[in-house]
């Protein structure tokens, strides 16, 4: 039985420049589902994780618009709403694809909580922008009224709220995910979990409590893969493979590496923090946690990456590429 955790990027749900309508998202998800079904037909049982950037931002905006009529929900609840929304879209598209192909599979979404530390330095230094843009006056009032940390985006000329982005320490629901994906030769479930980086929670005594934060989706996916003892972690994004010297005249494809080399290149600053950086960090953590291989490729090249060597492949040091 071949298994993998596959982290799909936001472009699999909403393309750059598209309006965030239900129709646009369902159309994109249907295309993504075809690629996933192709992979499953090749013999893979998979766990799918996904982003939620535009969707959770829209939910927060609806909170703001309706705040005089309805009490707004906290970020943890908004994260859960986005997991349900995107999970439903993926479930419907995947299950429809399975029925059309006569496959004995069904997609299952799991609302997933991610454990973070209340002592994480990120809580004292919020950096993750979320939600809409505000004027300087609005930003000042929101800081005064709600205690929001607001930063100026000089490119857009507006102010945005920033929230902490703490490191994931574990997945509350990792055991049911593991049981479903490793259910045996004829198991039917295709699991969708850790959507949007999961719902960040801290332990207070003997209880979990949601917090106002956002966990990086790729780091959360890597933690899920480690927690369920998966050996293969795939990051499906909007490029066919990783590049070195990205954006420079010396830019070149980077197709194969190992943990030692990728750590050196990461520390040298080869991978920008706003784009490929978090994905490479997620790859490093997965391999350091005992994983065998990380593949970074485009969503369209999933089958080619796992069957024909397309994409960038990064191996644990003791594994020969």
Where in the sequence numbering do the catalytic residues fall?
10-11, 128, 217, 279
Distance CA 244, CA 184 (A): 40
Q: How far apart are the first and last CA of the chain?
A: 21
Closest CA to 315 of 285, 279, 287, 280: 287
Distance CA 135, CA 160 (A): 9
Distance CA 19, CA 51 (A): 17
Sheet arrangement for strand 149-153 = 128-134, 158-163, 149-153
**Bridge partner list, 115:** 170, 201
Half-sphere exposure of 277 (CA within 13 A, CB side): 10
Encoded tokens for 239: 């490029």
Encoded tokens for 233: 């972690």
Q: What's the per-residue H, E or C state across 288-305? A: HCCCCEEEEEEHHHHHHH
Q: Would you state the torsion angle of the CA atoms of residues 301, 21, 160, 78, taken in this order, to the nearest 10 degrees? A: -90
Tracing tokens 């999970």 back to the chain, one arrives at: 87
Tracing tokens 């994931």 back to the chain, one arrives at: 168
**CB of 166 within 8 A of CB of 122?**
yes
């Amino acid at each position: 039985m071949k298994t993998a955790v596959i982290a799909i990027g936001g472009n699999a749900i909403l393309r750059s420049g598209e309006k965030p309508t239900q129709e646009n998202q369902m159309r994109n998800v249907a295309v993504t589902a075809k690629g996933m079904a192709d992979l499953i037909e090749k013999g893979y049982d998979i766990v799918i994780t996904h982003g939620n950037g535009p969707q959770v931002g829209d939910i927060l905006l609806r909170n703001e618009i309706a705040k005089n009529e309805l009490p707004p929900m906290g970020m943890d609840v908004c994260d859960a709403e986005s997991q349900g929304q995107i999970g439903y879209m993926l479930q419907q598209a995947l299950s429809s694809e399975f029925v059309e192909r006569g496959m004995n599979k069904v997609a299952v979404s799991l609302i997933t909580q991610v454990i973070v530390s209340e002592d994480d330095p990120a809580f004292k230094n919020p950096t993750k922008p979320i939600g809409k843009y505000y004027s300087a006056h609005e930003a000042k009032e929101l800081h005064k009224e709600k205690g929001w940390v607001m930063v100026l985006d000089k490119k857009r000329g507006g102010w945005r709220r920033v929230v902490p982005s703490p490191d994931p320490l574990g997945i509350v629901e990792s055991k049911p995910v593991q049981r479903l994906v490793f259910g045996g030769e004829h198991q039917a479930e295709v699991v969708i979990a850790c959507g949007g980086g999961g719902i960040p929670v801290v332990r207070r005594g003997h209880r979990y409590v949601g917090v106002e934060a956002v966990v990086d989706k790729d780091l959360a996916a890597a933690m899920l893969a480690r927690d369920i003892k998966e050996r293969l972690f795939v990051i499906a994004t909007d490029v066919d493979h990783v590049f070195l010297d990205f954006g420079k005249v010396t830019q070149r494809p980077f197709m194969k590496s190992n943990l030692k080399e990728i750590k050196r290149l990461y520390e040298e600053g080869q991978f920008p923090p706003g784009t490929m950086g978090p994905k490479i960090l997620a790859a490093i953590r997965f391999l350091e946690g005992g994983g065998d291989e990380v593949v970074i490729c485009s969503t369209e090249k999933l089958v080619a990456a796992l069957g024909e060597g397309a994409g960038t492949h990064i191996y644990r040091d003791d594994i020969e590429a």
